[in-house]
């Protein structure tokens, strides 16, 4: 009997070329295995023209290893890594839109903002936008606290993550180059 493996959250860090269609190529790998993507963000990395995807998925350790190899196999993907929660520093950002009049109901809102280490981004005539960075449960807590004042809008970004291991991506890429082999040799 196989022991049923436990599902955990994994953060994938994918380094890619900046190419049209790559997001699609990567996401269909999850779709095909009926895996849900919890979040996905992408931006240029520390290397020029090289993009970093941060993908969060919940799955088993053996499945994540296979999926990451499938991703790395895609042309346009330079290197793919995966990490468990303890191996990455990660954050999300959330924006909250609440009615301006809520500010004038005493000190409560100010307290809430301060206690949650959030900040006001803008004050308009009708609404205020508050920003908070943190982990999902923290941005959620602020959402719950603001609820009584009437949240007009709420949005949370995908996770961005920096892995703890000190080795640079570049060295991995160099290693791949070194391992590359030409059959004409």
Partner 1 sequence: MDKTKPEMTTLLNTTTMYQPSGKTLISKKNISGAEAVILSLIAEGVDTIFGYPGGAIMPTYDALYHYMDQVRHLLVRHEQGATHAAQGYARVTNKVGVCFATSGPGATNLITGIADAMIDSTPMVCITGQVTKELLGTDAFQETDVVGISMPVTKWNYQVTSADEIPEAIAKAFYIAKSGRPGPVVIDITKNAQNEMMDFEYQKCEKVRSYHPYRKLDEAKLDEAAEIINNAVRPYMIIGHGILISEAQEELKAFAEKTGIPVASTLLGLSAFPNDHDQYVGYVGMHGNYGPNIKTNECDVLIAIGMRFDDRVTGDLNRYAKQAKVIHVEIDPSEIDKNVKTDVALLGDAKEALKSLIGRVKEKTYPEWLAEFAACDAEEKRKVIEKDLAPTTEKLKMAEVVNKLSELTEGKAITVSDVGQHQMVVSRYYNYLETDSNVTSGGLGTMGFALPAAIGAKVAKPDRDVVAIIGDGGFQMTLQELGTIMQEKVPVKIMILNNSFLGMVRQWQQLFFERRYSFVDIESPDFIMLAKSFGIKGEQVSKREDLETGLKNMLASEESYLLEVIVEKEDNVFPMVPTGASVTDIRLE
Interface residues toward partner 1, by CB under 8 A: 1-2, 16-17, 20-21, 24-25, 28, 32, 46-50, 65-66, 69-70, 72-73, 75-78, 170, 173-174, 176-183
Question: Minimal distance in Å, beta carbon 1 to partner 1?
Answer: 8
Q: Computed over its alpha carbons, how large is the radius of gyration of the chain? A: 21
Q: How far is the CB of 176 from partner 1 (least distance, A)?
A: 6
CB contact set of 153 (below 8 Å; sequence gap of 6+): 95, 96, 97
**Using CA atoms, how far apart are residues 63 and 102, in angstroms rounded to an integer?**
47
CB of 158 to partner 1, least distance (A): 22
77-84 and 8-17 strand pairing: antiparallel
Q: Which of 80, 59, 82, 83 is nearest to 70 (CA)?
A: 80
For partner 1, give the closer residue by CB, 65 or 121: 65
Query: Distance (Å, rounded) from C-alpha 87 to C-alpha 83?
Result: 6
Q: With respect to partner 1, which residue has the nearer C-beta, 32 or 147?
A: 32
CB-nearer residue toward partner 1: 73 or 101: 73
Nearer to partner 1, 23 or 152 (CB): 23
Nearer to partner 1, 68 or 98 (CB): 68
CB of 13 to partner 1, least distance (A): 15
| CA-wise closest residue to 138 among 159, 109, 123, 124 | 159
- What's the closest the beta carbon of residue 23 comes to partner 1, in angstroms? 11
Q: What's the start-to-end Cα distance of the chain, in Å? A: 47
């Amino acid at each position: 009997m196989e022991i049923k493996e436990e599902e955990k959250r994994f953060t994938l860090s994918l380094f890619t070329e900046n190419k049209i269609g790559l997001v699609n190529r990567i996401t269909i790998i999850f779709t095909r295995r009926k895996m849900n993507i919890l979040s996905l963000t992408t931006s240029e990395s520390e290397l020029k023209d090289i993009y970093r995807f941060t993908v969060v998925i919940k799955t088993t350790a053996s499945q994540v290893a296979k999926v990451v190899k499938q991703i790395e196999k895609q042309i346009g993907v330079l290197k793919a890594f995966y990490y468990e929660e303890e191996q990455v520093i990660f954050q999300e950002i959330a924006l909250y839109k609440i009615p301006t009049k809520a500010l004038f109901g005493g000190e409560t809102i100010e307290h809430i903002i301060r206690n949650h280490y959030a900040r006001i981004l803008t004050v308009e005539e009708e609404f205020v936008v508050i920003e908070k960075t943190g982990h999902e449960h923290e941005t959620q807590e602020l959402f719950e606290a603001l609820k009584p004042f009437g949240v007009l809008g709420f949005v949370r970004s995908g996770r961005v993550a920096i892995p703890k291991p000190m080795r640079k991506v570049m060295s991995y890429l160099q290693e791949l180059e070194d391992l590359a082999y030409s059959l004409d040799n």
